[in-house]
Chain A
Amino acid sequence: MSVVIEYAPLLGRGLLTTLLITMLGIALTLVVAFAAGLARLSRFWLLRAPAYVFIEVFRGTSMIVQLFWFFYALPFLGIEFTPIAAAVLVLGLNEGAYAAEVVRGAIVTRPTGQTEACIALGLSPAQRMRRVLLPQAIPAMLPPFGNVFVDLLKATSLVSLVTIVDLTFTAQSIRNETGETTAIFTVILVMYFILAMALSLLTRWLEGRFAIDRSGRPALTKPVIGGQGAIPA
């Protein structure tokens, strides 16, 4: 175990990179989720179709393949990102594609009475979405979002395969340097576990904070059997 203490500063730096990528990834996931999720519900074919293709392509291929593609193949098409930017982009687009389905699902499952009432009140479709449907749907999105965020955190370990010095990469270096395989892998497994638990507790707290009816939780916020692509395809 002494090896872990000796290399603690190094692990700390790797951890920071992992946290940075996770946070940026979550931010991008949210943007992508709402953009693509709402586009999927648009009345306009020109918005709906690209959103559908985007979601299917990013959900249909492996994240690790996407990562290598963005990292090693895309530059040949003249588009180049820094390693961290490429990583965040892949994580955000991939998990965003899953989360877009969460957004869409949460909105389409609003009772039709809500839409009818809006129409009766003369609200425009945009007002209907912004003032009525979204505020109701967001609490329902939180539990599956929590699963998506944990998936994203775990997926950040893949960036170690494209030369980014995150927690997993650091562990491999220390192992290569010292040969202390068991200690180092055990420690980072536990670290990831703690991070994942913290992330779920955070979303759990948000759920409680934003539940539509805080006494009796309506069925719509019941946790989805989730993880790894919160709402399965």
Chain B
Amino acid sequence: MTNELSRRTALRGMGAVLVAAPLAGWLTACSTTEPGGSQAGTDEDVLARAREAGVLRVAIGNEPPYTKLETDGTVTGAEPDVLRAVAKRLGIDDIEGVQAPYESMIPGLKAGRWDVIAAGLFMKQSRCAEVSYTEPVIVSTESFGVPPGNPKGIEAVQDVLDNPELKIAILPGGFEEGILNTAKVPTDQQVGVNDGRSGVEAVKAGRADAFFLPTLSLQALAEDDSGFDVTDVVADAPKTGSGAAFRTGDTTMVEEYNKELEAFKQTPEFADILDKWGFEAAAADGVTTEELCQNEG
């Protein structure tokens, strides 16, 4: 009987601890965490909130040289580095990166999962209608990643249209998917891959004949993988560029950001950042968001 009692007591005690301890931990963790940001779709002042919190939450794609997530969790890459510098000028101490798939970036921004996208998310009509882009930071070109020697001779989007046998790897939601769709390349010629590395592996495994990505991203991937080549700049792909993207309601933020970005572009640090990642600072000169937003797709 004593055994019976002790068993029951022990059971009850253990149950209580099992349930209470982690839940209590969770609740305290929650109350100290920054509550999940602004309500979706409401016009809350993201600038004031980020200044107060000391951090701006940014969605990135971990696609060097545009964006890179260091193994210690810090965010870097051409766009985030510029974002961090401009944020500092705006009185925001730091940026905090969230690595997200391209396809989720805008929905996540609208859902308040992050405050801004700085991921080399290139401007085009459909995106410009959904988010507020700042002025462009980088302007870029596209290439194909192909098996050594480019056996299928893929150099232009037209080549893909001409040969329905070809399969092209793209990042779902990425700019290149838009280019192919606008050119009316059938979806069964497109192979969705999760990230840069998967795209390279898809080409090497023969799941795709080429991997369509910005020239610089492909070159970064080719650096530690000699198993594929990067073609010249694809001539029939539109000129593309990107800047930080905020929610359409964050008008104050975008205005203030553009002001500070313009001033920052005049400093040598801007050119240093772009140089460091292999971009040309001058490429964005005279290119406007309005112009890049005309891109179809």
Q: A residues within 8 A CB of B41?
A: 76
Q: A residues within 8 A CB of B8?
A: 135
Q: Within the assembled complex, what's the spacing in Å between the Cα atoms of A135 and B10?
A: 11
B237 contacts partner chain A, Cβ-Cβ < 8 Å: no
B112 contacts partner chain A, Cβ-Cβ < 8 Å: yes
Q: A residues within 8 A CB of B21?
A: 27
Which of A31, A169, A173 meets B71, CB within 8 Å? A173
Contact status A173-B25, CB under 8 Å: no
Q: Give residues 161-190 of A contacting B (CB, 8 Å).
A: 163, 165, 169, 172-179, 181
Taking the nearest CB of chain B, how far is it from the CB of A174, in angstroms? 7
B108 contacts partner chain A, Cβ-Cβ < 8 Å: yes
Contact status B22-A172, CB under 8 Å: no
Q: Within the assembled complex, what's the spacing in Å between the Cα atoms of A76 and B108?
A: 11
Taking the nearest CB of chain A, how far is it from the CB of B57, in angstroms? 11
Per-residue A-contact encoding for B222-265, CB less than 8 Å = 1, 0 else:
00110000000000000000000000000000000000000000
A71 contacts partner chain B, Cβ-Cβ < 8 Å: yes
B93 contacts partner chain A, Cβ-Cβ < 8 Å: no
Most buried by A among B34, B71, B100, B224: B71
Q: A residues within 8 A CB of B110?
A: 76
Q: A residues within 8 A CB of B73?
A: 165
Stretch at the interface among B171-179, B194-202, B267-275: B194-202
Quick one: given A27-B23, A28-B23, are A174 and B71 in contact (CB under 8 Å)? yes
Per-residue A-contact encoding for B29-40, CB less than 8 Å = 1, 0 else:
110011111011
Q: Within the assembled complex, what's the spacing in Å between the Cα atoms of A81 and B14?
A: 29
Count residues of chain B with CB under 8 A from any CB of chain A: 47
Which of B30, B62, B196 meets A82, CB within 8 Å? B30
B11 contacts partner chain A, Cβ-Cβ < 8 Å: yes
Contact status A176-B195, CB under 8 Å: yes
Contact status A82-B36, CB under 8 Å: yes
Q: Within the assembled complex, what's the spacing in Å between the Cα atoms of A82 and B72?
A: 21
A138 contacts partner chain B, Cβ-Cβ < 8 Å: yes
Per-residue A-contact encoding for B1-23, CB less than 8 Å = 1, 0 else:
00000011011001100111111
Total A-B residue contacts, Cβ distance less than 8 Å? 99
Chain A contact residues (Cβ within 8 angstroms of B): what range?
A: 35 or more
Contact status B30-A175, CB under 8 Å: no
Q: B residues within 8 A CB of A165?
A: 73, 99
Q: Within the assembled complex, what's the spacing in Å between the Cα atoms of A135 and B12?
A: 9
Contact status B111-A72, CB under 8 Å: yes
Which of B23, B111, B196 meets A75, CB within 8 Å? B111
Query: What is the chain A residue whose CB lies nearest that of B100?
Result: A163
B167 contacts partner chain A, Cβ-Cβ < 8 Å: no
Which of A73, A75, A163 meets B112, CB within 8 Å? A75
**Main SS of chain A's interface residues?**
helix
B186 contacts partner chain A, Cβ-Cβ < 8 Å: no
B84 contacts partner chain A, Cβ-Cβ < 8 Å: no
Q: Give residues 47-84 of A contacting B (CB, 8 Å).
A: 71-73, 75-76, 78, 80-84
Contact status B40-A76, CB under 8 Å: yes
Q: Within the assembled complex, what's the spacing in Å between the Cα atoms of A76 and B37?
A: 13
Q: B residues within 8 A CB of A75?
A: 36, 39-40, 111-113
Which of A23, A31, A138 meets B11, CB within 8 Å? A138
Which of B11, B19, B29, B197 meets A135, CB within 8 Å? B11
Contact status A27-B19, CB under 8 Å: yes
Which of B22, B40, B71, B107 meets A177, CB within 8 Å? B71
Which of A10, A72, A81 meets B108, CB within 8 Å? A72
Q: Within the assembled complex, what's the spacing in Å between the Cα atoms of A177 and B77?
A: 14
Taking the nearest CB of chain B, how far is it from the CB of A16, in angstroms? 13
The 7 closest A-B pairs by CB, nearest first: A75-B111, A75-B40, A27-B22, A80-B36, A176-B197, A23-B22, A27-B23
A residues contacting B by CB (< 8 A) are 7, 10, 23-24, 26-28, 30-31, 71-73, 75-76, 78, 80-85, 88, 135, 138, 163, 165, 169, 172-179, 181, 206, 209-210
Q: List 29 A-B contacts (CB under 8 A).
A: A10-B71, A24-B25, A24-B26, A27-B22, A71-B113, A72-B107, A72-B111, A75-B39, A75-B40, A75-B111, A75-B113, A76-B41, A76-B110, A76-B111, A78-B40, A80-B35, A80-B112, A82-B36, A163-B104, A172-B194, A173-B62, A173-B69, A174-B71, A176-B62, A176-B195, A177-B71, A179-B200, A206-B14, A210-B7
Q: Contacts A30-B18, A82-B34 given; 9 further ones with Cβ under 8 A?
A: A24-B23, A27-B20, A27-B23, A31-B19, A75-B113, A82-B30, A82-B35, A181-B197, A206-B14
